Structure 1
């Protein structure tokens, strides 16, 4: 009877869906202004060596990646100071696709801390800017105000974004910053000072449920300020 009960429970369990939210790592991919270029090229080949290996050159913040507090805070912890379980998140999707280029995201655009379900530790902000990946307009993404970052900090939640990051990105030569745009990295600093996660350059956010699990495991780099990740969403269909 017990075996039958286990089989019946397994039969009615909803199927689990996985979706890759990561940018492919490839030569010439977009990088944050001033960051190292990415190259991925053959090193050994089957024809010449009997096996294949490749050489990868990249910065620690290329593509879809996580930031460590050390990224903007000199005394912040490095990625390898964190237990691996801290890169598995209970995420809530926040739809911000109505925002304009370089528009500030204020605290009122985010859930009140009291409205967050228990266990949520990451707000995934869907701005729609993933569709501009590969052109200069990707730099013109909306950004978090210091007050919005403080709301996240008060709620104990980090952020995932389909943009270069939570702070403004320098504009291309043909574009201008609004006069009231903040300098520096105030949103990064507010979040990272409490060791809250920041996951950047996500993709594939359309069609996600409001709640899901997000896995963003970094490479095990010694004393790293950030690392590319394979970001994967999981939910029950």
Structure 2
């Protein structure tokens, strides 16, 4: 079985705050030119994409320096729902979700599953794509990201990323929990993962109904010196 987990790239699609807007427009047309080509303008982190270490680390690897085989993952689905807007996902929450015993968040219990190299975290925020509330996604604490790095696993998310995204305004709907006041500054979760050379796949979709274990393919464009790239993220599993 295969399933496309990526967002369509299209004009006006949601982008991270202050990132370039996306446009996809005809260049040549069958009517005028006898063939069709299009012009695509996009940032490197639009839609479903992977981050290269260069994204947050000035001396990190660029996307074209990474062996393409590193973008074919043995993935494990981690369903973290229900989560409140802007809720911090702790190392203890990840440890519990993957079934590690007490103390695992401190690195003193069960060995990591060496056959997994990507945790695909289902937060439920994919349902908010296209709304301002998509910015209010849960995020990984630095300790949670470090927990992943110690186990040699990257992270995939159905959200803008593993760190908090700036809010559109200072409020949330009255039926949602308010954001916490202790959100980290900067990109500590990105840094913890990318310092370990671990992948981050962002803005995934279609996670409902996936098996617990599957292959995920997320091959980037070979952008010279790139800090990231849009991908066609595809899950594969046996029925």
TM-score (normalised: structure 1): 0.91
Q: What do the CA deviations read for 1:146-185 (whole angstroms, capped 9, x no partner)? A: 1100100110100000000000000012437532010100
Structure with max Cα Rg = 1
User: SS of 1:130's equivalent?
Assistant: helix
In structure 2, the CA distance between the partners of 1:115 and 1:211, relative to structure 1 (3 Å rule), is farther
Indicate which of 79, 88, 91 corresponds to 1:95: 79
Q: What do the CA deviations read for 1:170-212 (whole angstroms, capped 9, x no partner)? A: 0012437532010100000000001100000000000000000
Matched, 1:104 2:106: no
Measure, in 2, the Cα distance between the counterparts of 1:159 and 1:42. 35
Equivalent position of 2:165 in the other structure: 169
Indicate which of 176, 184, 189 corresponds to 1:182: 184
Measure, in 2, the Cα distance between the counterparts of 1:108 and 1:44. 54
User: SS of 1:213's equivalent?
Assistant: strand
Q: Kindly indicate which of the two structures has a greater share of residues assigned to strand.
A: 1
TM-score (normalised: structure 2): 0.90
Measure, in 2, the Cα distance between the counterparts of 1:185 and 1:140. 16
Equivalent position of 2:132 in the other structure: 136
Equivalent position of 2:238 in the other structure: 236
Matched, 1:145 2:137: no
Indicate which of 193, 197, 200 corresponds to 1:198: 200
Matched, 1:38 2:22: yes
Equivalent position of 1:12 in the other structure: none
Indicate which of 150, 155, 158 corresponds to 1:159: 155
Q: What do the CA deviations read for 1:111-152 (whole angstroms, capped 9, x no partner)? A: 347364321000000000000000011000000001100100
Measure, in 2, the Cα distance between the counterparts of 1:33 and 1:68. 19
- In the TM superposition, 1:81-92 aligns within 5 A as 81-92=65-76
Measure, in 1, the Cα distance between the counterparts of 2:235 and 2:111. 22
User: SS of 1:123's equivalent?
Assistant: strand
Measure, in 1, the Cα distance between the counterparts of 2:45 and 2:134. 16
Matched, 1:80 2:64: yes
CA RMSD of aligned residues (A): 1.1
User: Structure 2 unaligned runs (5+)?
Assistant: 105-109, 173-178
User: SS of 2:69's equivalent?
Assistant: helix
Measure, in 1, the Cα distance between the counterparts of 2:148 and 2:83. 19
